[in-house]
């Protein structure tokens, strides 16, 4: 009795401390710092890192800083409508959660927390093939639009099983990732020895010991697994080094014909994630895709590749009237979203903008991060003299 009372008090005090810290996070960088203090180093660097010299990772955000917004005034801006429709999905704000792997490593609630936070903001939630909560659970709890990200596996039975899980769980959009034919050279992961789940070694044990709250949560909640793949991998000795996973399980012969067949088999909204060239954007239209995510995988794949925002105008000019163009990578501010929409993106999406917050405080953390970005977008729209997304155009943006 006394023990459980003590535990409850401790729990309340810990929660209060967490919420206070979350409430002091006013932007993505604040959440990044908090996540860094909470996560064992290999996990933090898995989220935070990019490929090779991380030039593309940095450029993704920097590219937004090389142009300026030109506001109009006296526009009567008391009511702002941030809603938009992308790939047939009506969302309440033009920013959604990109699919990212292994979220239960970052916080024990993982995708459960992110999907509920996304639902609260009326925006789309994307889940990865390497998700750590089952599609059925997400499908039965979330009423807002859901995207499933598919890695194209050599094992066609696995691809079919994932499509079936998506159909049964009422997923709305299928996103085929096309920029990960091999994994990028993520040197931080090589240095820290990152694997899924974390392989026990002296350094990971030290990391756990120095982050006891994370470790207690991780080891006292449901064992880490990958439920979407589970019937097709050997769980007994399952430790995924990402490089090995991509090389051994994904099909490097994937081509346009395969993408088109997949679209037909799926039969609903279909997009390609990781399109960067105008030529490929046109091919995406030819195979009947309804969207393209202009993305370099958050700078985690081909270092030295252009940033999505730098590449956006060319792509919108070529195909913007035929397909929904989504801009993704490096977004940390509401003004970044407004700039991409001004160039003609239909919506934006992001990974790290909610992942640091997930690590910092689970669902509450993600809600605070999405809330910060939503408030920024509303405030920025008012300051721009715009009341709805369609008011934004190239007239209100200049490159230096």
Residue numbers annotated as active site: 297
Of 80-88, 98-106, 162-170, 380-388, which part binds ligand FMN (CB under 6 A)? 98-106
Q: Check residue 283 for interaction with ligand FMN (CB under 6 A).
A: no
Of 209-217, 311-319, 328-336, 339-347, which part binds ligand FMN (CB under 6 A)? 328-336
CB 217 within 8 A of CB 108: yes
Per DSSP, the three-state class of 37 is helix
Q: Check residue 107 for interaction with ligand FMN (CB under 6 A).
A: no
Which of 82, 152, 148, 89 shows the shortest CA–CA distance to 115?
148
Q: Check residue 298 for interaction with ligand FMN (CB under 6 A).
A: yes
Q: Check residue 362 for interaction with ligand FMN (CB under 6 A).
A: no
- Binding test (CB under 6 A) with ligand FMN, winner from 312, 331, 338, 373: 331
Q: How far is the CB of 372 from ligand FMN (least distance, A)?
A: 15
- Binding test (CB under 6 A) with ligand FMN, winner from 40, 42, 94, 99: 99
Residue 60 or 115: which CB sits closer to ligand FMN? 60
Residue 28 or 396: which CB sits closer to ligand FMN? 28
Instruction: Quote the strand ranges of the chain, DSSP E.
Output: 67-69, 84-86, 89-91, 95-97, 125-127, 146-150, 173-177, 269-275, 291-294, 324-328, 347-350, 397-399
Of 17-25, 114-122, 205-213, 293-301, which part binds ligand FMN (CB under 6 A)? 293-301
Q: What gap in Å lies between CA 156 and CA 324, rounded to an integer?
A: 28
Structural element, H or E, at residue 322: none
Q: How far is the CB of 19 from ligand FMN (least distance, A)?
A: 24
Q: Check residue 146 for interaction with ligand FMN (CB under 6 A).
A: no
Residue 89 or 98: which CB sits closer to ligand FMN? 98
Q: Check residue 350 for interaction with ligand FMN (CB under 6 A).
A: yes
Helices (H) and strands (E) in the chain, counts: 17, 12
Of 32-40, 96-104, 217-225, 245-253, which part binds ligand FMN (CB under 6 A)? 96-104
Which of 309, 344, 326, 353 shows the shortest CA–CA distance to 59?
309
Binding residues for ligand FMN, rule CB under 6 A, total 24
Q: Check residue 360 for interaction with ligand FMN (CB under 6 A).
A: no
Residue 298 or 361: which CB sits closer to ligand FMN? 298
Residue 340 or 386: which CB sits closer to ligand FMN? 340
Which of 123, 109, 214 shows the shortest CA–CA distance to 172?
123
Neighbours of 209 (CB within 10 A): 10
Give the HSE-up count for residue 252: Cα atoms under 13 Å, Cβ half-sphere.
Answer: 7
- The stretches of 127-277 forming alpha helices (DSSP H) are 135-141, 156-168, 187-192, 202-210, 212-220, 242-249, 256-266
Q: How far is the CB of 177 from ligand FMN (least distance, A)?
A: 4
- Judging by DSSP bridges, how do beta strands 84-86 and 89-91 pair with one another? antiparallel
Q: Check residue 47 for interaction with ligand FMN (CB under 6 A).
A: yes
Query: How would you label 253-272 residue by residue, b for 16+ Cβ within 10 Å and e otherwise?
Result: ebeeeebbebbeebeebbbb
Q: What gap in Å lies between CA 149 and CA 154, rounded to an integer?
A: 16
Residue 35 or 386: which CB sits closer to ligand FMN? 35
The pair of structure tokens assigned to 42 is 């290999």
Q: Check residue 42 for interaction with ligand FMN (CB under 6 A).
A: no
Q: How far is the CB of 371 from ligand FMN (least distance, A)?
A: 17
Residue 100 or 396: which CB sits closer to ligand FMN? 100
CB 180 within 8 A of CB 301: yes
Residue 47 or 381: which CB sits closer to ligand FMN? 47
Q: Check residue 104 for interaction with ligand FMN (CB under 6 A).
A: no
Which of 197, 238, 203 shows the shortest CA–CA distance to 218?
197
The pair of structure tokens assigned to 213 is 């709250």
Q: How far is the CB of 330 from ligand FMN (least distance, A)?
A: 5
Q: Check residue 50 for interaction with ligand FMN (CB under 6 A).
A: no
Note the residues at the interface with ligand FMN (CB under 6 A). Answer: 46-47, 60, 98-101, 128, 130, 149, 177, 273, 295, 297-298, 328-331, 350-353, 355
């Amino acid at each position: 009795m006394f023990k459980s009372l003590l535990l409850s008090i401790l729990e309340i005090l810990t929660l209060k401390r967490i919420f206070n810290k979350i409430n002091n996070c006013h932007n993505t960088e604040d959440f990044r710092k908090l996540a860094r203090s909470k996560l064992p180093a290999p996990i933090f660097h898995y989220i935070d890192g990019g490929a090779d010299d991380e030039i593309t990772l940095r450029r993704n955000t920097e590219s937004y800083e090389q142009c300026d917004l030109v506001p109009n005034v006296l526009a009567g801006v008391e009511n702002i409508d941030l809603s938009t429709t992308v790939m047939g999905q009506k969302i309440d704000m033009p920013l959604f959660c990109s699919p990212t792997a292994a979220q239960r490593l970052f916080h024990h609630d993982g995708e459960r927390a992110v999907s509920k936070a996304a639902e609260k903001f009326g925006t789309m939630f994307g889940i990865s093939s390497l998700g750590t909560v089952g599609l059925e659970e997400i499908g039965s709890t979330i009423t807002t639009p859901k995207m499933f990200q598919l890695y194209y596996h050599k094992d066609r039975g696995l691809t079919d099983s994932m499509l079936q899980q998506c159909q049964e769980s009422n997923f709305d959009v299928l996103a085929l990732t096309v920029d990960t034919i091999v994994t990028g050279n993520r040197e931080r992961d090589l240095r820290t020895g990152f694997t899924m789940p974390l392989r026990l070694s002296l350094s990971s044990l030290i990391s756990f010991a120095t982050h006891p709250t994370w470790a207690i949560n991780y080891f006292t909640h449901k064992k880490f697994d990958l439920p979407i793949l589970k019937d097709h991998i050997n769980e007994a000795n399952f430790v995924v080094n990402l490089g090995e996973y991509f090389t051994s399980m994904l099909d490097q012969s994937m081509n346009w014909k395969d993408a088109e067949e997949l679209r037909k088999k799926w039969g609903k909204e279909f997009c390609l994630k990781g399109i960067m060239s105008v030529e490929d954007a046109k091919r995406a239209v030819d195979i009947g895709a309804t969207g393209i995510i202009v993305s370099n995988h958050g700078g985690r794949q081909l270092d030295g590749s252009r940033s999505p925002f730098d590449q956006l105008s060319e792509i919108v000019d070529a195909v913007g009237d035929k397909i929904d163009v989504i801009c993704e990578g490096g977004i940390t501010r509401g003004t970044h979203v407004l700039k991409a929409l001004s160039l003609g993106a239909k919506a934006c999406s992001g990974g790290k903008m909610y992942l640091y917050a997930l690590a910092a405080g689970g669902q509450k953390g993600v809600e605070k991060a999405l809330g910060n970005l939503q408030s920024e977008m509303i405030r920025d729209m008012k300051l721009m003299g715009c009341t709805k997304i369609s008011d934004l155009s190239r007239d209100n943006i200049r490159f230096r």
